[in-house]
């Protein structure tokens, strides 16, 4: 029988102060990167604009494409190689004059430019300003609705402290993922949003497994007498450790495969999942469980202290 952790008894909860520093550091680095980049880079799904994916027969230079686009006044567009050296993505900001014409204009101009050779337009996406704003709002609603749903569910199944701690953990994961997105200069798009929501689900999943175990153990009171809440939590985390690591590994494999073999279109999506699985697993113990422990100890401390005050008087 192969066993990763035959009888784990690590002191996870005892080291939570260090974990707080690490979590804060990672979150902060991400936030600083976002601020330095002047906010997240939004995909045209959110900003509005036109995206054109072109495959050329011969790999062209970016400068040649830019020169060609410059002739119709789109010289400022973002031109990006996309996977294959012959494949490019052109992002053209919203224009005032007939935005739906942009795709056709670009296609005509590039085709007419003999220096670029033959080409095939593989994808055109146009998002008008109205739709872009709607999608932005929907994205925020979706994340908020996800978080509120989770808070309610855990508050109902366990207790309020657990719900809040789980949401803080999830929030931490989202921030770390957004930070990673910003650090690697990737764009926030609809698939990235979907990945974030999946990570929310995954992270909560993990937290619930630990909570469930804690509750089960606390049911057997005789077994637990004389232990502090922190110790009980540590036992629960250790008991679920092999499951946590094994599951994290299988999901991690799946996302790694997506990231490395899923192709360019899925890359950002897989990247967020990849980072999210790591931080989601980490945050179960070091954010959610740690907060529940400190909160419970704080409340217990306040219950005891007034008694002392009475004794003094």
Residue 222 is a binding residue for other proteins (CB under 8 A): no
For 291, phi and psi rounded to 5 degrees? -65, -45
Residue 83: Cβ-neighbour burial (10 angstroms; 0-12, 13-18, 19+): middle
Residue 106 is a binding residue for other proteins (CB under 8 A): no
The stretch among 64-72, 248-256, 288-296, 303-311 that binds other proteins (CB under 8 A) is: 248-256
Radius of gyration of the chain (CA): 25
Sorted by sequence, the CB contacts under 8 Å of residue 228 that are 6+ apart come out as: 297
The residue (of 65 and 200) whose beta carbon lies closer to other proteins is 200
Q: How many helices and strands, by DSSP H and E, does the chain display? A: 12, 6
Shortest distance in whole angstroms from residue 303 CB to other proteins? 29
User: Please, are residues 242 and 5 in contact by the beta-carbon 8 Å criterion?
Assistant: yes
The residue (of 212 and 294) whose beta carbon lies closer to other proteins is 212
- β-strand 41-42 against 49-56: which pairing, if any? unpaired
What is the x/- site pattern for other proteins, positions 12-51, by CB under 8 A?
Answer: ----------------------------------------
**163: nearest Cα among 150, 173, 174, 175:** 150
Residues of the shown chain interacting with other proteins in the complex, contacts defined by CB under 8 A: 1-3, 7, 53, 55, 99-100, 103-104, 120-128, 130-131, 135, 138-139, 141-142, 145-146, 149-150, 153, 157, 190-191, 193-194, 197-198, 200-202, 204-205, 208-209, 212-213, 216, 239, 242-243, 246-247, 249-255, 257-258, 261-263, 265-266, 269-270, 273
């Amino acid at each position: 029988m192969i066993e990763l952790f035959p009888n784990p008894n690590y002191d996870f909860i005892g080291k939570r102060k260090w974990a707080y520093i690490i979590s804060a550091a990672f979150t902060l680095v991400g936030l600083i990167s976002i601020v330095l980049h002047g906010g997240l880079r939004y995909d045209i799904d959110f900003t509005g604009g036109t995206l054109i994916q072109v495959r050329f027969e011969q790999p062209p230079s970016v400068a040649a494409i830019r020169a060609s686009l410059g002739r119709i006044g789109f010289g400022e567009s973002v031109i990006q190689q996309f996977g294959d050296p012959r494949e490019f993505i052109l992002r053209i900001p919203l224009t005032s004059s007939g935005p739906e014409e942009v795709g056709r204009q670009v296609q005509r101009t590039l085709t007419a430019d003999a220096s670029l050779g033959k080409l095939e337009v593989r994808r055109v996406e146009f998002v008008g300003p109205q739709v872009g704003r709607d999608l932005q709002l929907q994205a925020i609603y979706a994340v908020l609705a996800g978080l509120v749903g989770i808070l309610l569910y855990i508050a109902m199944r366990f207790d309020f402290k657990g719900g809040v701690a789980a949401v803080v953990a999830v929030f931490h994961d989202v921030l770390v993922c957004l930070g990673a997105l910003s650090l690697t200069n990737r764009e926030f798009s609809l698939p990235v949003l979907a990945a974030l929501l999946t990570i929310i689900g995954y992270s909560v999943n993990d937290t619930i497994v630990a909570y469930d175990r804690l509750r089960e153990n606390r049911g057997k009171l005789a077994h637990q007498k004389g232990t502090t809440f922190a110790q009980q939590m540590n036992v629960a985390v250790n008991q679920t450790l092999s499951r946590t690591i094994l599951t994290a590994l299988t999901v991690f494999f799946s996302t790694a495969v997506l990231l490395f073999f899923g192709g360019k279109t899925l890359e950002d999506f897989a990247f967020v999942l990849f980072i999210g699985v790591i931080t989601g697993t980490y945050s179960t113990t070091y954010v959610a469980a740690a907060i529940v422990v400190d909160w419970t100890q704080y409340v217990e401390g306040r219950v005891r202290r007034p008694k002392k005050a009475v004794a003094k008087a």
